[in-house]
Structure formats: structure tokens, C-alpha cells
Structure 1
């Protein structure tokens, strides 16, 4: 015979309504009572009927995840598995499931989001990228549907809850690190300018050079995809210059891995001939040869805070808009040194 809420209530010596409130994690119930009810549930082997609860509350208890284009970096760059771990942790704490969607184009992604929202498959959405003039964001705003953006919005920044790093400051710190080592010829390898993260990091790079009195050189700025192949193509182009840089800031560790591979093929030593600072501090940065100096942007925390704050929005429609900035720090390894003065002469 199936165990019911009434059975749990009898063992815990509380009203059935109290058991229901404990299951719903009501703040009106004391922690002592919650523990007493949970022990009774465990003793009886009682498991709440999640589907019935969701149907009654008109909730799916599910978060939608919108990935970048599947033909792009979504399932290749190590950034995404780490940010997904953070999102999953935040969702798990509140017993929410995850529903992931993507597409081969911006149009397909928008259509998938429309189906997810109109089909009432999710209670809210986390966008794992931030691009210029994103129609997905416009659609969610028009529907007044709960969503959180990982990254900085292109517009309406005060109206959109988002979790981000201070990417301008972070790239400025990375560039200034090379300047402090004595580098004056510093190149920038970044991703697509359609992405807000690229625009901000380019801004930080330019600001560091200007404040140090170093001339900006357009030929030192290369944009490619956030992929190893992108780094390979970018560094081949930049090293063909008559006066190649002695230092590089690379906006992504995965790209930096491609940079290292190509420099090795060209017989250019790191850090003896050229220094490299990259971003994200994923595991491959530590495993690279040489290990990469990299800016740790706390990827896991970006995902964790995104899902945690989305669930708060879902459960409280009056929750104010937030801008959460996750801290960063430079991790020094073996890919940087003072410039080779012999090569500069």
C-alpha cells in the first residue's frame, strides 16, 4: 500500500498541511519542523509526486538552457561544460531539472526558444551567451518571461538580470601584466565582434595600451572563432608581420592552445621569443606546454549564480533586476617572461 502525506504527518506528529509546506520548502515552517518531517519521510520511504505538484502549481520545475549555435563553439569550447556544471548545481539545490536547446543558426535558436516558452516546457531561461541585437532576448522581454543572461546585454542593461565578469577590467589587467614585464609590442587575439565579451575585452586591451602611452596598431588585433583553429589562423597571420608582437593577450584558453601549437610549428619559443596571457583558466591552460598564464573568471560561479537567481525570479515575480559581477584573478604560470632584447635590437 502506498505511503501518503497523512502517514508522514502521523509519524511526525504534525498536520498534513504542514507536510505539504515542508515539501514545498515554505519559509513559514521552522527548520526544526522541517527536519522532523524529513526524518518521517525517510523512515517511511515517502517520495513526493513531483509531477502532481507541478501540475497543481502550473510549474514545470525546469530551467531552459539556450546554447550558442551548434555549428559554432557550443559543444567544443571547454568553457561550456564548466558553466553547465555551475548551472546544474544551482538547479539541483532547488530540485529543478534542465532542458537544453540550440540550433544551427540564430533563426533556429529563436524558433527553439519560442517552442520551449509557448509549449510551457520551462519556468525560465538561462542564456549562455550575449550577442549584439539578439532576437531571443527581445522575444523573452516582449513575453515578460523570466530569464537570466550570462554576459553583458547589448542594450537595456538596467532591465535585464545578468551574471558577468568585468571583462574590460580583466583584459586591462592581463595587458598591464605584459606591460609591467617590459612588453610594448602586444597583440590581441579575440573572438567574434558580435559577442559582447569580445567587445569588452578589446576595450580593456586598448585602454591598457593608451594609459601606458603605447600606440595602438590595427594589424596587432585579430578576430577569429573561440576555437583552437581560430587561434591557429590568428597567430599565423600576426606572425607574418614585419614587426610581430613580443606579447599576446588571447581572449580564450582554447584559442591559446591553437596559438601554442602553431608557434611550436613555426619554431617560435614561448616564453623566450613571445609571451602569452590567455583567459578562462580551464584545465587545458594548466596542462599546456608551457602551462599558460591565464585569467581565472570563475566559470562555475557564473553558471551557479545564473541558475540560482533565475529560480529566485521564477518563484518571486517581484524580484528586482540584478547585475552580478563575478570576480577574476590572474594565474601566473610559465608562458610569460620579459621580452627578448636580442630580438628587439
Structure 2
């Protein structure tokens, strides 16, 4: 049996081209600095040997020289692959993967899983420094983790706006308040005067931002805007509360609640949007046969931009913070208020 072919090295290329290994390295890295003096004839001779031999630089050696692994980490505070969460996380992951490939980096998924309790980045077997930097995903992110990442100088970017954690946090998020305000303006323009925000409106910054946009718009337009919390309430309970308050347009925080309320309304014989307009503050991926009016969260774009910002942090530092606009969707669940 023939012995396995030995891997070609830079020393081999240097010997065949009649130059030093340093010269080969400079040519491979396309160094053309003023202090790098390599004649065009020598450069072409090295490149010819590389082409003829099919030499490929050792990625481990190159990464050691750069002091980089060219590996970006992705850490999620929730499980991302089961079908119950796939609709929410898939666009983020798609954007992350696309951009990582474009910038020539591999991805490493961190779980931080423990036998009990919530996920945390830092634990007894912390491996986050295996990556050059990390993209953080999660509806809610542990504040202590953020503070430690900042204090230890770990390069990271959050997907989703984050409040300070002892210092400003780098993030790319969705710009919710303007999108919510425009939807409120559309509803008021169609005669709605009793509006309700249906959702938690607290906890995660994304929820607080949406509720803030709703309240600011309702106050500016002089209409009634109430908050209907969802915790511990069934869709039927929510519908009953909306009816009791005389609500004609419901602004629903979570896509799953938009779908559940629409289903419950149909079972009660209510017409959407004739009897109740529903505006989804994050169009669901599978809208259950309803073409919701509302907006789409730019999840794929946020994933891509997170990687772009992270590569910038790795190159030059800084604390980037960006908000991307949401895409408004006309849909078919907003109609003029009756009466």
C-alpha cells in the first residue's frame, strides 16, 4: 500500500522557488508594504510554484500568526433548534451564517448548558474564549454575564437592544418605537379611539420599547391606550378584557398571542377585523391563515449586521449600537372602527 503523501510546507515551496520561507509567507499574505522589497519576478516565481504544486497554507499556522482562530461564537440563552422556537431563531441564524461565511469565519455554537437552572455564559467549564468573539442571542440576557464580558474585555455583540450593564453594551436591535407609532397613527386615522397593548411590556428591552412606542403615540394623538398584561390569562380571558374595555384595536406584542387571540375570536363568532382589529408587533412566520397587519422584525438583517459589527470590534474595538427599521406590513387585520 502506498504511503500517505506528506503535506507540502512553506519550506518546500521556498526550496522549489529558490527563495526564503519568509519570502513565501510575505507573498502568501500579499504583503506590499513599503518596507517589503520583493521583486515582481520573484513574486511571480513563488506564485507559479504555488499554482503548480497546489499548495494550501496551513490554517492552524496562519491563525497562530494572526493571533486569531477566525472562529466566531454564537451563544443563545434559549434552545434554538426545536420546532417550538425555530420560527423565531431561524432568520437570525441564517443571517449570522451568511455573513460569517462572507468574512471567512467559522461558527461555534455555545450552549453553556447545565443540569439545572438557566443558561449562563460563565460557568465552571467556560469555553467562550475558544472563539475570537461572540454573538449573543436571547429574548432576555443575563446582566451579570454582560457585566463580566465587558469587564474582561471579551469581544461580543448582542442581537437586540440592551441597557447598560455597568457600561454600554454593543448591540444591533430592531427600532420598535417608530414602527409601533406608525401603526397607532394608522389605526387612529381609521377612527379607532380605544386601543390596547396586549403583552408583558416589561422584562426584555424589546418588550419595553414596543410598549413605550404605543404609549407615546396614544398620548400624542389624544386617544385611550390601555395595557392588557398577558401573564396567566388565556386567549378567551384576553378577549373578554378587550371587550369590557371597549377596545376596537389590539396591538399584540408576541406573534403567538396574535395567532391565539385571532383563533379565539373566530371561535366566538367574531370577525377579524370587522369586530376587532389586530395589529401584530412582529408578524408571525406562520400566520394561521390570517394576513396580519403589523410589522416584521428584521431578524435576518440583524444576524448579518451582528457579525459585521463583531468583526469591526475585533479589528478596532469600540461599542457599536445600531437599531434597524422594522418593515411595516399592510395586511388584512386592520379596518375602520365601527360606529
TM-score (norm 2): 0.79
Which of 251, 254, 257 aligns to 2:253? It is 251
Instruction: Indicate the residue corresponding to 1:98 in structure 2.
Output: 107
Shift of the alpha carbon at 1:291?
0.9
Shift of the alpha carbon at 1:204?
0.6
Shift of the alpha carbon at 1:127?
1.3
Which of 162, 173, 183 aligns to 1:174? It is 183
User: Which protein shows a greater Rg?
Assistant: 2
For each residue in 1:170-221, what CA deviation from the matched residue of structure 2 results, as whole angstroms up to 9, or x when unmatched? 222222222222112222122462101001111111111111112343xx42
Where 2:130 maps in the other structure, the secondary structure is coil
The answer on 1:284 being equivalent to 2:282 is no
| Distance in 2 between residues matched to 1:39 and 1:282, nearest whole Å | 55
The answer on 1:109 being equivalent to 2:120 is yes
Shift of the alpha carbon at 1:60?
2.6
CA-atom RMSD in angstroms: 3.6
Against the structure 1 CA distance between its residues 132 and 50, is the aligned structure 2 distance closer, same or farther, given a 3 Å change threshold? closer
Against the structure 1 CA distance between its residues 265 and 68, is the aligned structure 2 distance closer, same or farther, given a 3 Å change threshold? farther
Which of 271, 274, 278 aligns to 1:272? It is 274
User: What aligned pairs does 1:3-152 form with structure 2 within 5 A after superposition?
Assistant: 3-5=8-10, 15-22=23-30, 45-70=54-79, 76=85, 78-102=87-111, 103=113, 107-111=118-122, 115-117=126-128, 120-129=129-138, 131=140, 134-152=143-161
Against the structure 1 CA distance between its residues 271 and 216, is the aligned structure 2 distance closer, same or farther, given a 3 Å change threshold? closer
| Distance in 2 between residues matched to 1:163 and 1:112, nearest whole Å | 26
Unaligned runs of 5+ in 1: 225-229
Q: Is the 8 A contact 1:149 1:162 kept in 2?
A: yes
Against the structure 1 CA distance between its residues 124 and 165, is the aligned structure 2 distance closer, same or farther, given a 3 Å change threshold? same
Count the aligned residue pairs: 318
| Distance in 2 between residues matched to 1:334 and 1:197, nearest whole Å | 25
User: What aligned pairs does 1:327-342 form with structure 2 within 5 A after superposition?
Assistant: 327-341=325-339
| Distance in 2 between residues matched to 1:255 and 1:5, nearest whole Å | 60
| Distance in 2 between residues matched to 1:38 and 1:294, nearest whole Å | 56
Unaligned runs of 5+ in 2: 35-39
Instruction: Indicate the residue corresponding to 1:324 in structure 2.
Output: 322
| Distance in 2 between residues matched to 1:322 and 1:84, nearest whole Å | 20
TM-score (norm 1): 0.78
